[in-house]
């Protein structure tokens, strides 16, 4: 079966290359039918699991579609290349294919398809290459933001914030969370808005900036539901009073534990509790 499909693919390649030839009587290549033949060849090579030849055929089809301004079809070829690279374990190639494909989708007037391709590719890369996934999620957010769609843009930025938090890049986490919350303010409160505020407060505490954490809650705390607001208030009061037990009690509340996993983990592992011992020592000195 595989050998048969390989022969079929090679025949499509021969036809495509024939369409591209010029002569004394034929001055310009026939890019449109050539593109279709390269695309058919790619399908056959895919069935026969010849990944490199599949990618080559898809690239050639893409270039031919671009010549006849069929940009949407050109983008589809690169989107297929992303899937081939995923299946072949060629993860080092997927970001380039996705970025090029997304640009072609945008040029074809399909920003939503562009964002979906970037998101799909980011999910492929996220487990092993989170930094590359970050770049793609950011591009997806920027793509949708140009269409004045704050809700969708905020969904991509939420993923960016979570990846920043996971890699303990707290300054970037704070900046992205603030940007996301502001987008939520543009489109109205959603179920996730308060959770973002909780993540912002916790990230400031992980940065050991209690003042900034209090400021964040004062600014955005109205977005939190009752349980989350109570947990944050207990936590912040514990830090204000330098009471480690009170702060720990707040951080262990179910409302905190139910935040996105990156922020729930941050609450238990990455936030230094107040140094109650130094406060007790100061008090004993005053008493003596």
Residue partners of 93: CB distance under 8 A and separation at least 6: 55, 81, 85
pLDDT score recorded for residue 288: 46
pLDDT score recorded for residue 96: 97
**Which pLDDT tens digit goes with each residue over 91-135?**
999 999 999 999 999 999 999 999 999 999 999 999 999 999 999
Closest CA to 177 of 194, 149, 140: 194
CA-to-CA dists, residue 44 to 1, 6, 84, 250, angstroms: 11, 6, 13, 59
Q: Where do the H-state alpha helices sit in the chain?
A: 2-20, 31-47, 51-67, 71-88, 91-107, 111-125, 130-145, 150-166, 170-187, 193-206, 210-220, 226-240, 244-251, 254-257, 261-269, 276-287
117, 135, 166: which is the final residue of a domain?
Answer: 117
My answer on whether 12 and 112 are in the same domain is yes
Structure tokens belonging to residue 15 = 């036809």
Within 10 angstroms of residue 274's Cβ, the number of other Cβ atoms is 19
102, 117, 132: which is the final residue of a domain?
Answer: 117
Let me know if residue 184 belongs to a domain: yes
Within 10 angstroms of residue 147's Cβ, the number of other Cβ atoms is 12
Q: Is the dihedral of CA 148, 150, 151, 154 positive or negative?
A: positive
My answer on whether 8 and 49 are in the same domain is yes
Let me know if residue 79 belongs to a domain: yes
Residue ranges making up the domain that contains 201: 149-279
CATH code at position 252: 1.25.40.10
Within 10 angstroms of residue 83's Cβ, the number of other Cβ atoms is 16
Let me know if residue 139 belongs to a domain: no
Let me know if residue 138 belongs to a domain: no
Closest CA to 61 of 43, 49, 48: 43
pLDDT score recorded for residue 145: 82
My answer on whether 205 and 86 are in the same domain is no
Number of domains in the chain: 2
pLDDT score recorded for residue 279: 47
Let me know if residue 211 belongs to a domain: yes
Low-confidence ranges of the chain (pLDDT < 50): 279, 281-284, 286-288
Structure tokens belonging to residue 33 = 């039918």
Residue partners of 208: CB distance under 8 A and separation at least 6: 272
Let me know if residue 287 belongs to a domain: no
My answer on whether 79 and 185 are in the same domain is no
My answer on whether 107 and 8 are in the same domain is yes
pLDDT score recorded for residue 189: 63
């Amino acid at each position: 079966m595989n050998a048969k499909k390989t022969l079929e693919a090679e025949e499509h390649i021969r036809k495509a290359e024939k369409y591209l030839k010029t002569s004394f009587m034929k001055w310009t290549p026939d890019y449109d039918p050539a593109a279709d033949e390269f695309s058919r060849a790619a399908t056959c090579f895919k069935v026969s699991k010849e990944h490199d030849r599949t990618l080559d055929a898809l690239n050639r089809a893409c270039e031919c579609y671009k010549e006849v301004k069929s940009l949407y079809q050109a983008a589809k070829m690169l989107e297929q290349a992303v899937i081939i690279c995923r299946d072949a374990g060629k993860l080092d190639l997927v970001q380039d294919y996705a970025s090029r494909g997304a640009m072609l989708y945008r040029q074809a007037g399909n920003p939503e398809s562009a964002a979906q391709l970037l998101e799909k590719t980011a999910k492929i890369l996220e487990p092993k290459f989170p930094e590359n996934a970050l770049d793609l999620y950011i591009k997806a957010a920027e793509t949708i933001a140009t269409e004045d769609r704050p809700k969708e843009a905020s969904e991509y930025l939420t993923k960016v914030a979570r990846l920043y938090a996971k890699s303990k890049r707290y300054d970037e986490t704070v900046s992205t969370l603030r940007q996301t919350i502001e987008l939520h303010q543009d489109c109205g409160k959603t179920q996730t808005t308060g959770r973002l505020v909780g993540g912002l407060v916790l990230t400031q505490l992980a940065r050991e900036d209690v003042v900034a954490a209090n400021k964040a809650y004062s600014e955005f705390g109205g977005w939190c539901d009752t349980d989350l607001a109570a947990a944050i208030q207990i936590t912040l009061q514990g830090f204000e009073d330098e009471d480690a037990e009170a702060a720990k009690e707040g951080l262990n509340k179910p409302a905190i534990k139910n935040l996105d996993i990156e922020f729930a983990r941050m609450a238990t592992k990455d936030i230094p509790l107040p140094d109650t011992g130094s406060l007790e020592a100061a008090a004993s000195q005053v008493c003596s």
